[in-house]
Amino acid sequence: MDAASPAKPMRHIASAEDMRRLIVDKLIYSVGKDPQNAVRQDWSAALILAVRDQLVDRWMQSTRKAYREDQKRVYYLSMEFLIGRLLKDTILNLGLEKHVREALASLGRDYEQILRSEPDAALGNGGLGRLAACFLDSMSTLAIPAHGYGIRYENGLFRQSLADGWQTEEPEDWLVTGHNWEFERPEVIYHIPFGGQVVERHDGRRHWQAAEVILAAAYDTPIAGWRGSHVNTLRLWAARPATRIDLASFNRGEYLTAMESAVRAETISRVLYPDDTTDEGKNLRLRQEFFFTSASLQDLLRRFLSDHPDLRQLPDKVAIQLNDTHPAVAVVELMRLLVDEHGMGMDEAYDITRRTLSYTNHTLMPEALERWSLTLFGAVLPRHLELVRWIDEQHLRTAAAAQRSLDLERLRIVDHGNGNGHGVRMGHLAFVGSHRANGVSALHADLMRRTVFHDLDQVYPGRIIGVTNGVTPRRWLHSCNKPLSDLLEETIGEAWIGDLEAIKALEPFADDAAFGERFHAAKRISKERLAAEIEERLGLKVSPDAMFDVQIKRMHEYKRQLLNIMEAVAHYFAIRAEPDRDWTPRLKIFAGKAAPGYQMAKLIIKLINDVARAVNSDPVIGDRLKIAFIPNYNVSLAERIIPAADLSEQISTAGMEASGTGNMKLALNGAITIGTLDGANVEISERVGAQNIHIFGLTAEEIAAHRLAGFDSRAVIEADPILKSVIDAIGSGVFSPEEPGRFRAIVDRLTYDDFFFVTADFAAYLDAQRQVDEGFNDRREWTRRAILNTARVGWFSADRAIRDYAREIWGVDTPPPSAFAEAAE
Ligand code: 26W
């Protein structure tokens, strides 16, 4: 790297005039449009290019610094990065909002409109993908030299629409309008082998004769942190064919055959798998996982070797984080590269691999734990299967030496599969091949030790730790909630943006009535905005005075959207029974996508919409209860709903939600939580105080005990007339007169196999909701509690979580929180 670093960024913006000139320059010379007839899309592209310029100098300086100081690098490998839009976030991170607003105004363009025309980068399903995006923001903010590595899907998570209340899916082709943030790196190409066989070479070394090679092409997106001082790289891989066309077939007129291998290759980065809880075990999924993992490992080894001759130094200079098991093949791919490509011995390679890798688990749901059949794994990755077997032997030897009378069958990486054939357990491989395996909340880490990873925990004590999730305060308060962010800046300054625990300074204002009024007014602005959107998109008129009761997350039975809508039915019946009572007006807002193949989740979406149709059109009810299912939940919609929320629904069956992160975002924006003691709800409750949250329901221990003892929901239903009336109504077609039996499957599940304990927690949930009504009626007290929620969740910053990873797992230094407070002065 040459030393010459520009003193002042070439394209430094010091005024709105500078910004205006640069935007027009980009529009004309990069977008190639005449300002006179440029459309909104063009202006958005020009603005993105102009703002991106502000990143490039800092990006290069950050890269040079990492090389110059030989800093330890962090590599975050994830199949998903749920980024959303980047423009507003980057403008705020660089402190350019004022200049941009004025520049656009002088060009007769509307800032908000331009922001809305940037497509969401929906390269993820839900929690895991969004966490990865928040962590990128924090690693840049903390100036950790880090790379995110993932796949550049051409189609992100599907677009959801509702047809008569049923979910429908359309492809999400976010790239059609161009992704102006990225830089294509045509010189960065890696060969990714697949299939074939392994042969013994004359020198006894193993050689993989692959049947197919696909190319991985790099695309880089700069990731700025708060104040834009440090810029990291998100490198996404696109699949390219080794040969674009098979000329021989083409010349024979077999055009499709001629394109076949090219199509096969490009399919790898075509689309994101829309499942977020079920391991489909599909061939293409395994190819996607190996594709990006191998390209990433080859790339980071090239970077390491560019200024470190000795690979034994790798663990001192590189930390690789596996975001769940999806990149777990990294354990054997790193071994393969070290042994087969760099001639290292197996034991040394294994030791280096473990000291370099660490694994995060995000779910204990059995159906989500990836397990590849031996046939498929061996066919696609024959050399890796050999290495998996070798590691399994070492592992079982270690286990035997631990003399812990453990069931070796349960410990094996390659299990004998009770009757459904041998398989490679990727959770076991990731665990054994790493020096740390972390859960994403305290309860989750505990459950990892007590359930799925119990035996492994016995063999490798201390390897499991908990690092509770966090969210970036830049996007999830400063950027998405201007009314509240401005009020906070006026009241306690802006240190909290760079150091969220500084938001604690708000606590004394909880008892300040005048401040309370302003806090309430800020919430009101966001509620009015959302009410307007609901009216415009759903044609449903809602009152901003009502309590905005929000459940926004992927549709899944363990998240119990069903419990929520059943409470709505009970409440509906109660209001109809006593229409003159002074009911607390409530708007129930649902949003969330169901995996396309998850029929029960899709049926619950339909139930919510059928109940909404009945309730919203019932004259007896009026404004006392309204229900809205807002379609196509994504990052940008979350940024509009969260600031407007009064009540945050976190009601999962205890022991099933690893952490949750929406719970943190909603509490930070002054919503009060109603929830079970599950995931991070436990830690949120501890920090906000039991009076400022509504906890209900069975605990994880109680659920486990009920499972052992056997739980019969019929007894509960018979004993609870309200519950019974709700289930009977749903089952008899009260909400689906055109198809009375439509929800039979739901009623059967509740009656004969209530695996998610909906019936068991129903009564407690109803009571808690009535207490919420009580609380909401006392506006002063509700606002005081809401302020305390905002003031007391600073610890749930992604910056704190990344500091924990840096200290406990990666062994890299980070600047103290105070460094950001000072910068704010
Ligand atoms: C193999 C298919 C598949 C794909 C994605 C299985 C599982 C996943 C993810 C692990 C599911 C996920 O997003 N888990 C969520 O991760 C969040 C971030 O840690 C947690 O806050 C949520 O509790 C957890 O459900």
Q: Is 292 exposed, middle or buried (0-12, 13-18, 19+ CB in 10 A)?
A: buried
Q: What is the pLDDT of residue 1?
A: 41
Please state, in angstroms and rounded to a whole number, the distance separating the CA atoms of residues 207 and 225: 44
Ligand 1 centroid–CA 750 distance in Å is 25
Please state, in angstroms and rounded to a whole number, the distance separating the CA atoms of residues 199 and 378: 14
Specify the amino acid at residue 692.
Answer: N
Please state, in angstroms and rounded to a whole number, the distance separating the CA atoms of residues 316 and 299: 17
Tell me how far the alpha carbon of residue 170 is from its chain's centroid.
21
Please state, in angstroms and rounded to a whole number, the distance separating the CA atoms of residues 28 and 464: 55
| CA distances from residue 178 to 98, 117, 149, 182 in whole angstroms, order as listed | 26, 12, 20, 9
Does ligand 1 have an atom closer than 6 angstroms to the CB of 526? no
665 is an active site residue: yes
Output the residue whose Cα is nearest ligand 1's atom 12: 128
Residues 6+ apart with CB under 8 A from 779: 520
Note whether 447 and 655 are within 8 A (CB): yes
CA neighbor of 537 nearest in space, from 39, 160, 176, 87: 160
Residues 6+ apart with CB under 8 A from 518: 487
Output the residue whose Cα is nearest ligand 1's atom 15: 127
Phi then psi for residue 509, to 5 deg, are -80, -10
In the set 233, 661, 790, 814, the catalytic residue is 661
Please state, in angstroms and rounded to a whole number, the distance separating the CA atoms of residues 618 and 423: 54
H or E element, residue 552: strand 547-552
Candidate from 78, 151, 322, 362 with most ligand 1 atoms within 8 A of CB, to mutate: 362
Candidate from 363, 683, 756 with most ligand 1 atoms within 8 A of CB, to mutate: 363
Note whether 237 and 217 are within 8 A (CB): yes
Are 1-121+149-273 and 525-797 equal in CATH topology? yes
List the domain boundaries for the chain: 1-121+149-273, 525-797
H or E element, residue 40: helix 40-68
Strand spans (E) along 381-422: 414-415
In the set 159, 383, 553, 556, the catalytic residue is 553
Please state, in angstroms and rounded to a whole number, the distance separating the CA atoms of residues 814 and 812: 7
Please state, in angstroms and rounded to a whole number, the distance separating the CA atoms of residues 669 and 19: 32
In the set 130, 147, 554, 560, the catalytic residue is 554
Q: Which two tokens stand for residue 357?
A: 């890798």
Note whether 713 and 665 are within 8 A (CB): no
Q: Per CATH, which fold does 1-121+149-273 belong to? A: Rossmann fold (3.40.50)
Output the residue whose Cα is nearest ligand 1's atom 5: 276
Whole-model pTM? 0.97
Torsion (CA) 314, 315, 319, 323 in degrees, nearest 10: 100
Residues 6+ apart with CB under 8 A from 422: 373, 374, 414, 415, 416
| CA distances from residue 50 to 46, 205, 378 in whole angstroms, order as listed | 6, 53, 49
Does ligand 1 have an atom closer than 6 angstroms to the CB of 80? no
DSSP class per residue in 97-166: HHHHHHHHHHTT--HHHHHHTSPPEEES-SHHHHHHHHHHHHHHHTT--EEEEEE--SBEEEEEEEETTE
Note whether 557 and 603 are within 8 A (CB): no
Strand spans (E) along 555-614: 586-591
Q: What is the pLDDT of residue 403?
A: 65
CA neighbor of 485 nearest in space, from 329, 312, 642: 642
676 is an active site residue: no
Does ligand 1 have an atom closer than 6 angstroms to the CB of 127? yes
Three-state DSSP class for residue 543: coil
Note whether 172 and 257 are within 8 A (CB): no
Q: Is 519 exposed, middle or buried (0-12, 13-18, 19+ CB in 10 A)?
A: buried
Q: Are strands 81-84 and 121-123 parallel, antiparallel or unpaired?
A: antiparallel
Q: Which residue shows structure tokens 């592992």?
A: 395
Does ligand 1 have an atom closer than 6 angstroms to the CB of 556? no
Please state, in angstroms and rounded to a whole number, the distance separating the CA atoms of residues 548 and 646: 5
Q: Are strands 357-360 and 206-209 parallel, antiparallel or unpaired?
A: unpaired
Q: List the CATH code of the domain at 525-797.
A: 3.40.50.2000
Ranges of the chain whose pLDDT falls below 50: 1-6
CA neighbor of 369 nearest in space, from 313, 424, 300, 297: 424
482 is an active site residue: no
159 is an active site residue: no
Ligand 1 atom nearest to CA at 326? 1
Strand spans (E) along 195-288: 197-200, 206-209, 212-224, 231-241
553 is an active site residue: yes
Please state, in angstroms and rounded to a whole number, the distance separating the CA atoms of residues 294 and 299: 8
Does ligand 1 have an atom closer than 6 angstroms to the CB of 368? yes
Does ligand 1 have an atom closer than 6 angstroms to the CB of 554? no
Q: What share of the chain is helix, strand, coil (3-state, %, to 5)?
A: 55, 15, 30
Does ligand 1 have an atom closer than 6 angstroms to the CB of 659? yes
Q: What is the pLDDT of residue 277?
A: 66
pLDDT 10s digits, 121-165: 999 999 999 999 999 999 999 999 999 999 999 999 999 999 999
Note whether 676 and 650 are within 8 A (CB): yes
